[in-house]
Structures are given as C-alpha cells and as structure tokens.
C-alpha cells in the first residue's frame, strides 16, 4: 500500500485514485453518514451561503483498532467480581490499544494535505484529526457538501453547517468513521420553569428544592462534605452556548449554603466563558454539583469548540482523549433523539464513552425531559429514545418529584423523566436480570410495538428533578425543573463517595453500572409510584412506562439514600 501511495494510487481497482483526484472521483465515493437526518431546528434561520474563502475547522474521526479488546477491559475493570476491578487504564494505555493503524494515519494525512488542509491537530489517542480549510477547499474535499451560515437559539448563536450530505472517496471507507462540523446543530435546553403549586398554609413546608432540602431528603449530615485534602475532583460539561457567573455561584452559596462547608468558586474552567448573561441551565449545573458534592474541587467545561463550524459535544470528547488527568465524575445534560443521528456518529461516540469507562471515569448523563418520547414511523407511533442516555457505557439519571411538592416526603415519578429502550444498542449483560424482571412483572407495559424490548434500557438511577431554586444573573429563580437538575445532584453525591474511597486508598468508582446492577439498587430509595409521559394518541393516551418495585425504565433503581449508598459503595 505504501508503494501505491508513492505512485499516487490506492485500491479499489478500476477507479481513478490519484490522491489529488480522490475527492472528484464521484463514482468512487461513499457516504459515511447516509442515515444522518438533516433538519433545521425550530428557531434557526439560514443567512445564506458561506464565503468560499471563509475558514472552517473540521474534525475527522479516524478508524480505531482493538475495540473488542477495549470492551473486554471495560467489563474487567468495572466488575467487582473481576481480579482487574478498579485497575483502570491510563490515557496512554487506551491510546496504545485504539490508535489507528499506520496505514490509516498515512492515508488520511496524505489526502488532507493534498486538499490543502492546514494547522491539523490530533489528540493523544490519534483517532481524531482537526484541520482548517477554506469553504471552497472543504466543498471540494467533501463531495456534495454546501456550507451555509445559520443563526438561532436563545443566544442567537451563529454556526456554519451543510444542509446537503457529503461523500468521501471509497478508498477512505476503512479509514474514516465520519466528519464532524457539517450537520449537527448545538442542542437546546429542555429545562422548564413550572408554575408554583398552590397549597393552603405554609407551616412546616418548604418553598422549593434547595441544597438543604436535598441534604435532608437524601440523609446527608453537615459532615458529608469533601475533606479538601485529596486530589478528588468533579466536572460538569455545558454545550448550550450558556455560561455561569462566579458571582451567581457566590450568591447561591450565600443564600443556600450556610449549613455545610463548600467551595465558593470553580477550580478550573475549560473553554471560554462568555461575557453575556448567565444561562439558567449553566447556573443550575454548577450550583447543584458544587452543593451536592460540597467542598470538592470542580471543573466546568464551558462550550469547548466555539468556532462556528465546530460541534461542542464532539469537542468535549476530543478533550477527554487529550487529557491524562481528569476529574473522576462528569455530569452532562446533553442529549439528542437517537433517530436524528447517523449510525456512524452514534457508534463512534459510544466508543468514546467506552474509552472513558476504561479509564475509570464516571459519566452521568441526564435521561431527558420528554418521558418516553414519541415519533411517527410510516404512520405508526413509537417511543423515541435519547442518546447518549441510551449508551451502555454511561450512568443515566432520571427524575422524581416529592409526593407532596411542599414537604420532604417520599418521591414519585416526575412525568417528564426520560426513559425507555434503545433502538441502537442491545441490552448489556449487566442489566439482563433487572430488565427481564421488569418486563415480565410490570402490569402497565405499553404495546410492544412502541419500544425495542431487547435494547439497552435506561435510566439507571434518579434524583429530584422538580422545583429547584437557581440563582442566575443575580436573581433567585424558583421552580426550575428537568433531569438537568437531578444529574449534577447524583454526580455530586458520587464524588463524596469517591472522597471516602480515595482516603482509604481505594480507586474511584469508575463506570458504576455493573456494580449498581449486581447490588440490585442497594443504597437507593425505590420509587414505585407514577408513570412518565409519551405519545398523545388513543392507544397509549400520553402514558409511557410506569415505575414499580426494583428497577424500572422511569427512575432506574431509585434515588440516593446517602449513608446506605456510601456503605454499599465504600467496600473494595
């Protein structure tokens, strides 16, 4: 193959394959993402074609190696019954395993250089390559692409995207998984501010969820905070072109953090912090991660990849593949409908999440705020799973409400809590028993045509998601709701458990699911009342799945009882 490259030729036979001709040989091209849905999100408008000389930053996902071996290692380091439990891989170990072949690296680099790509940067694992090209060069390189400017979202964000599919030379089919920066738009927030419930009298009542309410419900004492003596850390990642303000965090802690030790500022911001107004979701993430995981060093990934042609979530994945020392727990409130993403993209992102699991990172993703979801396929309704919530390599967090919204009572399902069954990923072995039990015993299953009963089922756990107080732009805002709230709360509590483990000389928890399912939800409050929302049609009448004893696809195993959860997770 090296000799072929030197001659300017590489298979398949019968095609014109000189490197300079690769990207114009149409009949020798293929589409890496033929199933990628392209729709202009609501609230976005086209501003017309991009200038041919405008600069773009595109990310090329290079084909990895040894993924089966990586999967085996994730299972080994995450399974308490394995002799390798807790013996996580370093970033360098992962790189040695998955690094693309020399042929892939050489072929893709030659192709990009021939097209005029410049300032190309790789990551430690060498499986992503980000390069700068002009619009003219990119449209020649990626046959069929046509770049336009778009504006939309609450912050009137500007992006450059192609509404048309792109094609690559067939000679690259075994070397490139997909190209990032063409189709996918920044996500939008699904947080809701609900009307305040009406109830007579206020004696003995609380007026919304605050850190003290969370600490009371989940049985944390004033001593359940970080020690400040370890290298323990946690992080939240934000992709909404929203920003938190340090002054809001300080005011939040002044109002609500008086009865526990806490840190009043973020230890590290990765990415750029905007100077505009703070976003409610960005404020919520930081304030509740730092009050649940109190007194623990906290990082914020703030919309990494701010260039108009970059995808912030993809850029965050690149950062994970390029940093040796990372926080142990990451909470993320990002999600897309599975069916809106190409198979190539969704499988590759899942591999990136698997790489993180191999390194002992605990990734928590919000389950979404649309219940079971709903979409129509050929005139028939089906539930609509969300990704990365549906990835088998993350711990997915659903949502609950207090049975009485003004009292610290037992929890019930929050009807928005995302959950269901993946249409992409098969059910992982660690949840086989729990899911089979639910499917065989639930008295309220929806019709089988609405969901893929053999798919990865989620969420795995839950926490309160209804009625939070948030400080944003110096204003206390009540009744904010969404699994974007429950996720940092659960993440913060896992950080406290990591603190105990580290002080005992134990490794951090890492990928939690195998242990969580083996222990049958021990240390969690089982949520057994309520159903979430779904399709508004005559057949299901807006009802998705319902909770029940044990695991269920609405609240997972349940919500944290901190002392019991600490006890069950502190053991080696």
* Measured distance CA(210)–CA(214) in Å, rounded: 6
Q: Strand, coil or helix: what is 425?
A: strand
**Residue located via tokens 């204003």:** 475
CA–CA distance, 468 with 284 (Å, rounded to integer) = 9
Residue 542 is encoded by which pair of tokens? 């807006």
Round to whole Å and give the CA distance between 70 and 72.
5
C-alpha to C-alpha distances, 244 to 119, 139, 265, 472, nearest whole angstrom: 31, 37, 11, 8
How buried is residue 329: exposed, middle or buried, by Cβ count under 10 Å (0-12/13-18/19+)?
buried
What is the C-alpha separation between 213 and 207, in angstroms, rounded? 10
**Strand partners for 167:** 143
Maximum pairwise Cα distance, the chain = 84
């990704």: which residue's tokens? 387
The CA dihedral of 268, 274, 279, 283, to the nearest 10 degrees, is: 20
Q: Is-catalytic flag, 281?
A: yes
Annotated catalytic residue: which of 251, 281, 460, 499?
281
Of 508, 559, 516, the C-alpha closest to 86 is 508
Known catalytic membership, residue 484: yes
Q: What is the Cα–Cα distance from 193 to 283, expressed in whole angstroms?
A: 14
- Which entry of 57, 162, 484, 534 is annotated as an active-site residue? 484
Instruction: Map tokens 């040695």 to a residue.
Output: 96
C-alpha 49 chain-centroid distance: 31
Annotated binding residue at 410?
no
C-alpha angle 219/223/225, rounded to 5°?
Answer: 90
Q: Is the peptide bond before 123 cis (omega within 30 degrees of 0)?
A: no
Q: Is the peptide bond before 64 cis (omega within 30 degrees of 0)?
A: no
Is 467 within any annotated ligand binding site? no
Q: Helices (DSSP H) in 56-123: which residue ranges?
A: 67-78, 91-98, 102-114
Helices (H) and strands (E) in the chain, counts: 14, 30
Strand ranges for 50-204 from DSSP E: 55-62, 118-122, 128-134, 148-152, 157-161, 168-169, 176-180, 192-193
Active-site position among 33, 139, 177, 285: 285
Rounded to a whole number of angstroms, the CA Rg of the chain reads 24
Clarify whether 216 is annotated catalytic.
no
Beta-carbon-side half-sphere exposure of residue 397 (alpha carbons within 13 Å): 30
Coil, strand or helix: which one is 128? strand
Tokens of 458: 């989620």
Is residue 398 annotated as involved in ligand binding? no
527 labelled binding-site residue: yes
Asked, as a colleague might, if the bond just before 459 is cis with ω within 30 of 0, I would say: yes
Please name which of 337, 366, 342, 292 lies closest in space to residue 165, comparing C-alpha atoms. Answer: 342
CB atoms within 10 A of CB 441: 11
Q: Which residues are annotated as a binding site for Ca(2+)?
A: 526-527, 550, 552
* Catalytic positions, written as ranges: 281, 285, 484
């Amino acid at each position: 193959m090296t000799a072929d490259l030197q001659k300017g030729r590489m298979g398949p036979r019968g095609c014109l394959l000189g490197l300079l001709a690769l990207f114009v040989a149409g009949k020798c091209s293929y589409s890496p993402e033929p199933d990628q849905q392209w729709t202009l999100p609501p609230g976005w408008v086209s501003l017309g074609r991009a200038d041919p000389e405008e600069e773009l930053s595109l990310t090329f996902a290079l084909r990895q190696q040894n993924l089966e071996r990586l999967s085996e290692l994730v299972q080994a380091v995450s399974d308490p019954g394995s002799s390798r439990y807790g013996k996580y891989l370093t970033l360098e170990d992962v790189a040695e395993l998955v690094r693309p072949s020399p042929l892939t690296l050489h072929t893709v680099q030659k192709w990009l250089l021939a097209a005029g790509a410049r300032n190309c940067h790789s990551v430690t694992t060498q499986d992503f390559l980000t390069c700068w090209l002009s619009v003219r060069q990119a449209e020649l390189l990626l046959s069929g692409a046509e770049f336009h400017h778009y504006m939309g979202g609450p912050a009137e964000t500007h992006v450059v995207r192609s509404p048309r599919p792109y094609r690559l030379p067939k000679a690259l089919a075994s070397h490139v998984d997909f190209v990032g920066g063409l189709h996918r738009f920044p996500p939008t927030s699904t947080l809701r501010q609900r009307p305040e419930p009406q109830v007579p009298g206020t004696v003995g009542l609380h007026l919304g969820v605050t850190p003290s309410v969370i600490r009371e419900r989940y049985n944390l004492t004033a001593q359940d905070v970080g020690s400040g003596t370890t290298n323990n850390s946690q992080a939240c990642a934000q992709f909404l072109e929203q920003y938190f303000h340090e002054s809001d965090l300080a005011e939040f802690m002044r109002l609500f953090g008086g009865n526990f030790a806490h840190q009043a500022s973020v230890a590290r911001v990765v990415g750029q912090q905007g100077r505009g107004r703070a976003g409610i979701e960005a404020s919520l993430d930081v304030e509740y991660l730092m009050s649940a995981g109190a007194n623990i060093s906290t990082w914020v990934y703030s919309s990494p990849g701010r260039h108009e042609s970059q995808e912030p979530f993809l850029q965050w994945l690149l950062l994970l593949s390029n940093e040796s020392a990372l926080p142990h727990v990451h909470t993320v409130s990002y999600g897309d409908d599975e069916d809106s993403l190409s198979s190539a993209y969704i499988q590759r992102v899942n591999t990136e999440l698997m790489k993180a699991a191999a390194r002992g990172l605990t990734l928590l993703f919000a389950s979404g705020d649309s219940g079971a979801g709903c979409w129509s396929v050929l005139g028939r309704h089906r539930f609509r799973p969300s990704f990365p919530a549906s990835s088998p390599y993350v711990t997915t967090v659903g949502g609950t409400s207090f049975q009485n919204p003004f009292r610290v009572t037992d929890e019930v399902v929050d009807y928005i809590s995302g959950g269901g069954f993946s249409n992409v990923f098969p059910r992982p072995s660690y949840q086989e028993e729990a899911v089979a039990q639910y499917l065989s015993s639930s008295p309220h299953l929806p019709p089988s045509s609405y969901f893929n009963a053999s798919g990865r089922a989620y969420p795995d756990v839950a926490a309160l998601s209804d009625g939070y107080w948030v400080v944003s732009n110096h204003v206390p805002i009540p009744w904010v709701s969404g699994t974007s709230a429950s996720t940092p709360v659960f993440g913060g509590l896992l950080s406290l458990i990591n603190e105990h483990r580290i002080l005992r000389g134990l490794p951090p928890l890492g990928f939690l699911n195998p242990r969580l399912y083996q222990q049958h939800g021990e240390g969690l409050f089982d949520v057994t009342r309520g159903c979430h929302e779904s399709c508004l049609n005559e057949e299901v009448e807006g009802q998705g799945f319902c909770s029940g004893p044990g695991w269920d696809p609405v609240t997972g195993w349940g919500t944290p009882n901190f002392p019991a959860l600490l006890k069950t997770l502190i053991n080696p």
